[in-house]
Amino acid sequence: MGAAVADNTAAPFVDFQDVWLAYNEELRRANHFAVEAIDLKVRQGEFIAIVGPSGCGKSTFMKLTTGLKMPSMGRIMIDGQPVTGPLKISGMAFQAPSLLPWRTTVDNVLLPLEIVEPYRSSFKRKRKEYEERARRLLQKVGLGGYEDKFPWQLSGGMQQRASICRALIHEPKMLLLDEPFGALDAFTREELWCILRDLWTEQRFNVILVTHDLRESVFLADTVYVMSKSPGRFVVRRDIELPRPRELELTYTKEFSDIVHELRGHIGAIRSGGATSTAPVIPQ
Ligand SMILES: Nc1ncnc2c1ncn2[C@@H]1O[C@H](COP(=O)(O)OP(=O)(O)OP(=O)(O)O)[C@@H](O)[C@H]1O
Ligand SMILES: [Mg+2]
SS3 letters across the chain? CHHHHHHHCCCCCEEEEEEEECCCHHHHHCCCCCEEEEEEEECCCCEEEEECCCCCCHHHHHHHHCCCCCCCEEEEEECCEECCCCCCCEEEEECCCCCCCCCCHHHHHHHHHHHCCCHHHHHHHHHHHHHHHHHHHHHHCCCCCCCCCCHHHCCHHHHHHHHHHHHHCCCCCEEEEECCCCCCCHHHHHHHHHHHHHHHHHHCCEEEEECCCHHHHHHHCCEEEEECCCCECEEEEEECCCCCCCCHHHHHCHHHHHHHHHHHHHHHHHHCCCHHHHCCCCCC
Ligand 1 centroid–CA 279 distance in Å is 22
Whose CA is closest to atom 17 on ligand 1? 59
Burial 247-262 (b: 16+ CB within 10 A, else e): eeeebeeeebeebbee
**Residues 181-193 pLDDT 10s:** 988 889 989 999 9
Residue 23, ligand 1, Cβ within 6 A: yes
Q: Which ligand is nearest to the CA of 178?
A: 2
Residue 84, ligand 1, Cβ within 6 A: no
**Residues 90-126 pLDDT 10s:** 888 888 878 999 999 999 999 999 988 889 999 999 9
Residue 38: what are its φ and ψ, rounded to 5°?
Answer: -85, 115
Residue 58, ligand 1, Cβ within 6 A: yes
pLDDT at residue number 111: 95
Ligand 2 centroid–CA 57 distance in Å is 7
Task: State how beta strands 223-227 and 234-239 pair.
Answer: antiparallel
Ligand 1 centroid–CA 60 distance in Å is 6
| pLDDT greater than 90 at residue 209 | yes
Ligand 2 centroid–CA 60 distance in Å is 7
Ligand 2 centroid–CA 124 distance in Å is 36
CA nearest neighbour of 36 among 14, 21, 17, 15: 21
Domains and their CATH numbers in the chain:
44-69+84-271 (3.40.50.300)
Half-sphere exposure of 49 (CA within 13 A, CB side): 24
Q: What is the mean pLDDT of the chain?
A: 90
Residue 91, ligand 1, Cβ within 6 A: no
Residue 56, ligand 1, Cβ within 6 A: yes
Mean pLDDT of 275-284: 45
pLDDT at residue number 274: 53
Whose CA is closest to atom 24 on ligand 1? 54
239 DSSP β-pair partners: 223
CB 149 within 8 Å of CB 104: yes
**Residues 214-271 pLDDT 10s:** 999 999 999 999 999 878 899 999 999 999 999 999 999 999 999 999 999 999 888 8
Residue 54, ligand 1, Cβ within 6 A: yes
Separation CA 50–CA 58 (nearest Å): 7
Residue 135, ligand 1, Cβ within 6 A: no
